[in-house]
Structure 1
């Protein structure tokens, strides 16, 4: 069965869709079959990203690696089993279909708490939680004491992940490998960066996640989306020179894929 990767966080703007697209595309470039779902049914940033990529390849004549994308199927209410939520059923059918033809299924969750997101977390073999490098985002993981920053206990998102872990344990499934990535790391604000890093290190040992290198704050990420490109494509399309910043950003993608330690994946880019 395909390995399920879920990219989730209950806060918008943390880089979930950018992370999803780079992970999915990197896997396809390395020869793996990847199917994707976007559970943000309103904005669908990942779906738009892949749509832009297909259009760019068609218009510019490029043959780039493109992950498969699937919308949740439309199901008449009368075809939903009695007592089953219709959106739960739609997600289950979509995952079941994608798992048959792919090595990995990547699910991009919305930046809010939804029933679909909660169900997706319980399906995750690997959970990636992109986090802006600030205590505003850290507050989703843990409550802290304002006076000295001491960790008081898990917060809303950590509690949802805990519930998903319990659901998997009751079903006899293997534990979720939870990875928190630090995104938008700036070259300045070294004091804040150190304090957030220390707090994540303490919390990771307490509630059970791994901390992975994420993506620094770079203009290039905002420029890639309209063409559906990733940092790994810049050499292939020939129009963008790889400056030092872009080379460093490619290394960040490589480091993230290595840290994920996905089954059967050997990093080759």
Structure 2
């Protein structure tokens, strides 16, 4: 590990014309509950933006699981074994501090994080940060830095509880939950420091294609909560086996027609691509104004 605790693992694509005039946008994929699909969203959004022609930097802050890092390592291995040429982001990995003193540990992690951000800002149009599935110092740093915060949420009241507590009969929002309060605190600090807002987008992830009463109730509760605490709702990615099958090869839905993918392209995959396209559109990223988004 380098002395500064920041590893730079690969290099991004060439700059797009005119990109030097834009400030790098930081997109954080955050949710304190594990299993919501943060890494799946991170890798697919990364490849989608690369396909559009953007330069992307990635920071994996999940210092234990490193799912996004492993995904990208699998992607490099796939290219090496098949000869396929796939788009790749620039990757920075920030290590957790080993200091036992809390103040020194936080100071060290903050310096490593800012060093990673500064490196990627010199070359990238977007920085995508995969935040850890827990309330950590690095996670809060990432949330305070976000320009766009995407929170994937499994379509159930178990995961909804991360955001807010509701009356089970009326679906009236009783109070925001701990994660919502953390995001609110980060939004205040970001506004005080830079006078720039955080655009918070909650996406209903792993949704069943079947209509169900619970699905409608979750949707109604999210609508109520979004008006109270100020986030936008976005369509998520449906529950599909293909996402788990693609991980060992480091591939995404946008790579299935590439050389050596060995995966037959189906109507289900086409529908999944459309979901991803819809997500990118709903994010309303100013930097993509006028860009053609068609996967």
Structure 1 length as normaliser, TM-score?
A: 0.94
User: Which position in structure 1 is the counterpart of 2:191?
Assistant: 169
Q: Is the 8 A contact 2:27 2:127 kept in 1?
A: yes
Q: Is the 8 A contact 1:73 1:94 kept in 2?
A: no
Alpha-carbon distance in 2 for matches of 1:22, 1:52: 14
The total of aligned residue pairs comes to 266
Q: Is the 8 A contact 1:88 1:119 kept in 2?
A: yes
Any runs of at least 4 consecutive aligned residues in structure 1 with deviations exceeding 6 A, and if so which? 73-77, 81-84
User: Which position in structure 2 is the counterpart of 1:19?
Assistant: 41
Alpha-carbon distance in 2 for matches of 1:104, 1:173: 20
User: Which position in structure 1 is the counterpart of 2:294?
Assistant: 268
Instruction: Look up the SS of the partner of 1:264 in the other structure.
Output: helix
User: Which position in structure 2 is the counterpart of 1:100?
Assistant: 122
Instruction: Look up the SS of the partner of 1:236 in the other structure.
Output: coil
Quick one: structure 1 residues 150 and 73, their matched pair in 2 at CA, closer, same or farther if it must change by over 3 Å? closer
| Structure 2: unaligned runs, 5 residues or longer | 1-22
User: Post-superposition shift, 1:235?
Assistant: 1.5
1:38 to 45, 60, 63: 60
Quick one: structure 1 residues 101 and 75, their matched pair in 2 at CA, closer, same or farther if it must change by over 3 Å? farther
Q: Confirm whether residue 242 of structure 1 aligns to residue 265 of structure 2.
A: yes
User: Post-superposition shift, 1:147?
Assistant: 4.3
Alpha-carbon distance in 1 for matches of 2:254, 2:89: 14
User: Which position in structure 2 is the counterpart of 1:159?
Assistant: 181
Q: Confirm whether residue 112 of structure 1 aligns to residue 134 of structure 2.
A: yes
Alpha-carbon distance in 2 for matches of 1:214, 1:64: 24
Q: Is the 8 A contact 1:28 1:34 kept in 2?
A: yes
Structure 2 length as normaliser, TM-score?
A: 0.86
User: Post-superposition shift, 1:66?
Assistant: 1.0
CA RMSD, 1 decimal: 1.9
1:47-196 mapped onto 2 (5 Å cutoff): 47-72=69-94, 85-188=107-210, 190-196=212-218
Alpha-carbon distance in 1 for matches of 2:98, 2:29: 29
Q: Is the 8 A contact 1:204 1:211 kept in 2?
A: yes
Alpha-carbon distance in 2 for matches of 1:56, 1:74: 28
Q: Is the 8 A contact 2:24 2:124 kept in 1?
A: yes
| Structure 1: unaligned runs, 5 residues or longer | none
